[in-house]
Structure formats: structure tokens, C-alpha cells
A and B are shown apart, each in its own frame.
Chain A
């Protein structure tokens, strides 16, 4: 069964720092990987979707990479802002089912 792990579980950084969130998965036979942010008590907001044939996707200050063979993805956030504070989740699609990590809780201090 697919297992998705996210490291670190929590991260606190001063505003302006560049940071990297990590996601790993045990079964490399994925169709895609999606990064979400989740604000407390709220739904999930999609940030980036990487298809299995792609290596990376970019949106504004966010860049996500995918190394399917090694079972890893990273989410790079440039010039972090207090508004980036949230929990970041990665999810993979594997044989038409979806598996989420536990998330990285990010706190960006002003």
C-alpha cells in the first residue's frame, strides 16, 4: 500500500526565507502528485499538480519538483511571507486512489 511521508512535520522561519518542504512516497507507480495548502479548519487549496511525466511545476513563488524513480517531491517556497503560514500537504494518485501525507505545518514569522 502506498505510504506518503512529509518532512519536517513543522517548520518555523522568519519572513523572507526560502524554504523547502519534502514529500516521499513508497510506490513510484504514481500518475501524479499534487501539493495543497490547508488553513486551520478549512478545506484544501490546490497549489501545484505535477503529472508523472513532468519533472517540475512553477506558480509564482512556488516550485515543485518530482523525482518519481526515487519517490520524492519537494516544494520550494521563495521569499516566504506570513500569509504562507498554513499546513502543506502532498498527495499522490496511485492506481486511481489518492494518498495524502500528514503535512508540514509552516509558520512564517513577521
Chain B
């Protein structure tokens, strides 16, 4: 059964560094999403992406963040100048259509020291 994959599973970085989190959505899906979950808190929506552009973003998704679909399969989240409070689990999700079921990847646990 097709699934969303994410790499790396864990990432440790120093404050101020840039990180790129990678996702491979399900191949025939057209809508892509990033979420984060700070330990012990709710899952938070970051951004949705369709047709090679951002379709919606939350207040969290400021200039520190960017997303890209560099080729036909990968979907990346870049976090510039990481802060301690960026430590969280980051989930990628994809869906076939807008307002359809979203399928989540296993997440990347980011720790900023």
C-alpha cells in the first residue's frame, strides 16, 4: 500500500542552523501539507501546497519557513536560523484532492540545541 515517507526520522541541529526536512508524498496525490507537533501539544497546521505553490499557510509559517517541490517526487520544508522552540515532530501529509483524506508520514523529530 502506498505511503508517505519522511527523512530523516531524527535530526539534531544547533540553534541558528538551517535544516531541510524531506518528504515523498504518495505518487498520485496533488495536495501536500506540513504540520508540526511540539511535545505534549496539539498538531499544528503549517502550510498546504498545490500546483507548485503555497495555497494556504498558518500564522506560524513565517519567513523562517519555506517549502519546495524540487522534483516530481520530493516535497521539502526548510527552516532557516532554527530556534530552540522549533524543536518538534514535523509531519508531512498528502491527499489526492482538496478536502479529501490526508495521509500522514511517520514524522521527523527535530531537536534544536
Where the two chains meet, the residues of A that have a C-beta atom closer than 8 Å to any C-beta of B are 4, 31-32, 34, 36, 42-46, 49, 51, 89, 91, 93, 96-103
Contacts and interface: CB of A to CB of B under 8 A. Distances in A.
A49 B101 CA distance: 6
Interface of B: 4, 33, 35, 41-45, 48, 55-56, 58, 91, 93, 99-107
Contact of A100 (B33, B44, B103, B105): B44
A25 B41 CA distance: 17
Contacts of A32: 99
B101 A97 contact: no
A31 B56 CA distance: 15
A6 B112 CA distance: 30
A103 B41 CA distance: 10
Nearest to A95: B56
Contacts of A93: 99
A99 B35 CA distance: 10
Closest 7 CB pairs of A and B: A100-B43, A98-B45, A96-B56, A44-B104, A43-B104, A43-B106, A49-B101
B43 A34 contact: no
A30 B9 CA distance: 33
Contact of A96 (B35, B55, B100, B102): B55
B42 A102 contact: yes
